[in-house]
Each structure stands twice: as structure tokens, then as C-alpha cells.
Amino acid sequence: MTLPTIPKKLVICAAALGAFASCKTVPHALDDLKSIHMVPGNTLEHRFEVERYSFFSALLLWGPLSHIPGVGGKAARSTERIDDPAEFCVSNLKILRSVNLNDVTESAEVVFWAGAIAEADPFPLARIEGLRLLADVVHEFQPDPATLGDRSVEYLQSTKKRFTRIKELFDLSLAGTLTDEQKNEYIQTAKELGVTPASLASEARDWSRILASCCLVETDTKVRDALATGSMLLMARGALLQLDRSLGDAHERVRVAAAREMIAALGPAALPRIVARLQEDANVDVRRAVVAFAGDSARIGAVETEPIIKFLAGAVKDPEPAVAVNAMESLGRLTGVGRQYDADWWGRWYEKRVQNEVNIK
């Protein structure tokens, strides 16, 4: 008996659908992250019972079938129990790292949630995965580490006034009553917001997301470009602020991850901030990691090594042998002196180094 021939187009379509089902999209992963998190106050908590879209519904909403008129309305959420919310969260964050960072209408929302998870998720592994995504953003846009630090009250007030004005101008634009003068003010204010260092990571993320949402409905090209640029700059600054904030995370593994990701994103330029924040950390594993990062990264160049040498020279006297030995090894590699496992020897060496520099001056 001859079996019926399956049409070639049907085979190709089935293969495409199967491939999509095995490859979760960024919008689907983002929606799953939202569905599993509750936001009571300033913290995040995980749900075990979630309302989420199946892969088939995701096909209708975000996949190849979404181009067919009317099919999106057939997508429906279903209740599902998640046995391991932490793993579910981490796996979705990994998918979000494939987001197109230059498309702020999508990336601003992704970075908003990655930052919120890095800041407040109850599971350290989820916070660490969020930091990896934020490091991708910092590496892509290279915000200036010099913008980190506290701001004056007057400075913060003027920044918030700009943001309030952006909202007012957006409403006028949406209503179609924006004058040419106001349009120029709209563009200028968006640019000023983009180059204004925010004081809080959450604040920068929120502003970035709002400017990106304005892009979705703005029809004027110049205004939309200014909003997109401002959103992108705020997104990058918010990511860097969160990496810096996570250097003070309650869990030592998250603090180490924040330092590692800052160096991966910014290179040796991140070292002074990391050393300042973590050199006296109470946890031995954190201090040991910092001296290792300092020795390895300072050798790459593009950073003033003298402050790092001073830090390592002090760290050789750390009461924990593991930290002291790491500091000695890092000093040996950085200075070219070689291995010397004697804290007193390094103390004398550093005194001579300082004295020679004083005599030269």
C-alpha cells in the first residue's frame, strides 16, 4: 500500500513550529518572569502557582503565527505549578540575554526586570544571573564609572523636574497640541535626562522604561530618536548602578559576582570602585576574590596601578592566610617581583618603593 505524500509546505511549516517550540523567545521569557514574581512593597517573592502562556500560545502571540490576523486573541494563560521557582527564574534570565539591546522598546523592559531581580530576588543564584545580563548592558554601552556616588539634594531635585516636564510634554504630544518650541524643549529635555546620572539604580531603570514606552507611540522621528537615546543611556547607567549596589549584597557570592561582572564589563577601570567597596569586607572569600581580581586585572593596563599596589601591600597582612597569600601572588605578578610568601618582606619592599618615589619628587 502506498502511503499518502505529505505536502512539502506542511513539512516545512511543522519543522519551523517545532524549532520555535524548542527555542523560547525573549518576550515569552519576560512574560514568564513577570508571572512568577510578586511585588509586595520593595521586595520580590516567587509564586509556585502561576498563570502563564504555553508554547503554543506563545506561537500565537510572539512567534511565526502572530502575523496571522486575529490569532493572537486565541492565546490563553493556564495555571501551572512551578516546583523550582529559582531555576525557572534563572533559565528565563539566560534567555533574556539574547535581547537586542539597541531596541529600547524591548530592552528597557528586560533590563528593568533583570535589575529588579538582581536587587531584590530572594534567591542568590537568580540575583547573580540578573547581574550577568546587566553586565552585558554595561559592556555594550560603557557608562562612565565616575558617575557612581552620591548626589546633592539640589541636583536630584533638578533631575526630577526634568522628568516631570517630560511627562507633561509627552501628554501634549499625544494630544497633538505640541508647539514647535515645545517640541524642541521635548527633545532637549530627553537628551538632558539621558546624560544625567541618576542616584538610584531603580530610578534609572524606571526612567529608561518610561522613555522607551513614549517611543512606542511617538510619531515624530526627531523626538522618538531623542527619547530612544535617553532611554538607552539611562538603561546603561541603571545597570552600572545596580552592579555597584550589589557589591553590598547580603550574600557573599552575589558580592563576588558583582565585582567579577563589573570587571568583565568595564575592565580594569572598575577596580578602584571595587577595592574601595570590598577591601574590608567581613567575608574571607570576598576579600580573597578582590585581591585576585586586583592582581589579574591591573596587569591588563588602562588603570593607575599604584593605588592597587598600595591596596595589595596592605592585604598581605590580612589575618586570613588565604587572603594574604593571594595578595602576595597578585603583587608578584603585577610588579614582576615574582613569588614571595613573606608579609614582612613585602612590607619592607613597599616602604622602599614609597621612599624612592618621595626622593624622586
Answer yes or no: do 170 and 297 share one domain: no
Is there a domain that residue 92 lies in? Answer: no
By three-state DSSP, how is residue 52 classified? strand
Q: What is the mean pLDDT of residues 10-18?
A: 48
Answer yes or no: do 108 and 47 share one domain: no
295-310 residue pLDDT tens: 887 665 556 678 888 9
Q: Ranked by mean pLDDT, which of 45-59, 161-175, 190-204 comes out on top?
A: 161-175
Q: Domain range spanning residue 241?
A: 99-272
Answer yes or no: do 133 and 22 share one domain: no
- Is residue 88 very low, low, confident or very high in pLDDT (cuts 50, 70, 90)? very high
Is there a domain that residue 287 lies in? Answer: yes
- Whether residue 361 is predicted with pLDDT greater than 80 in this model: the reply is no
Answer yes or no: do 115 and 207 share one domain: yes
What is the structure's pLDDT at 138? 97
Is there a domain that residue 163 lies in? Answer: yes
Is there a domain that residue 131 lies in? Answer: yes
- Whether residue 17 is predicted with pLDDT greater than 50 in this model: the reply is no
Is there a domain that residue 283 lies in? Answer: yes
- Min mean pLDDT across 62-71, 117-126, 313-322, 324-333 is at 62-71
- Whether residue 278 is predicted with pLDDT greater than 50 in this model: the reply is yes
| DSSP 8-state assignment for residue 99 | S
Dihedral pair phi/psi, residue 37, rounded to 5°: -105, 135
- Min mean pLDDT across 223-227, 279-283, 335-339, 351-355 is at 335-339
- Whether residue 247 is predicted with pLDDT greater than 80 in this model: the reply is yes
Cβ burial of 105 (10 Å; 0-12, 13-18, 19+) is middle
Answer yes or no: do 254 and 334 share one domain: no
Answer yes or no: do 116 and 229 share one domain: yes
Q: What are the C-alpha distances in Å from 187 to residues 164, 165, 183, 192, 279?
A: 14, 11, 6, 9, 43
- Whether residue 285 is predicted with pLDDT greater than 50 in this model: the reply is yes
State which of 272, 297, 313 marks the end of a domain. Answer: 272
Answer yes or no: do 266 and 283 share one domain: no
- Min mean pLDDT across 4-8, 75-79, 206-210 is at 4-8
Other CB atoms within a 10 A radius of the CB of residue 266 amount to 24
Answer yes or no: do 38 and 145 share one domain: no
Is there a domain that residue 23 lies in? Answer: yes
Answer yes or no: do 156 and 139 share one domain: yes
State which of 210, 242, 272 marks the end of a domain. Answer: 272
% of the chain exceeding 70 in pLDDT = 84
Answer yes or no: do 122 and 263 share one domain: yes
Q: What is the mean pLDDT of residues 205-213?
A: 92
Answer yes or no: do 144 and 262 share one domain: yes
Scanning the structure block, which residue is given the C-alpha cell 537615546?
Answer: 229
Q: Which helix (H) or strand (E) holds 154?
A: helix 153-175
What is the structure's pLDDT at 349? 93
State which of 272, 291, 312 marks the end of a domain. Answer: 272
Is there a domain that residue 5 lies in? Answer: no
Q: Which helix (H) or strand (E) holds 13?
A: helix 8-21
- Whether residue 114 is predicted with pLDDT greater than 50 in this model: the reply is yes
What is the structure's pLDDT at 91? 96
Answer yes or no: do 157 and 255 share one domain: yes
Domain count, the chain: 3
| DSSP 8-state assignment for residue 49 | E
**What are the grid coordinates assigned to 51, written together?**
498563570
What is the structure's pLDDT at 296? 80
Q: Using CA atoms, how far apart are residues 237 and 204, in angstroms rounded to an integer?
A: 7
Is there a domain that residue 254 lies in? Answer: yes
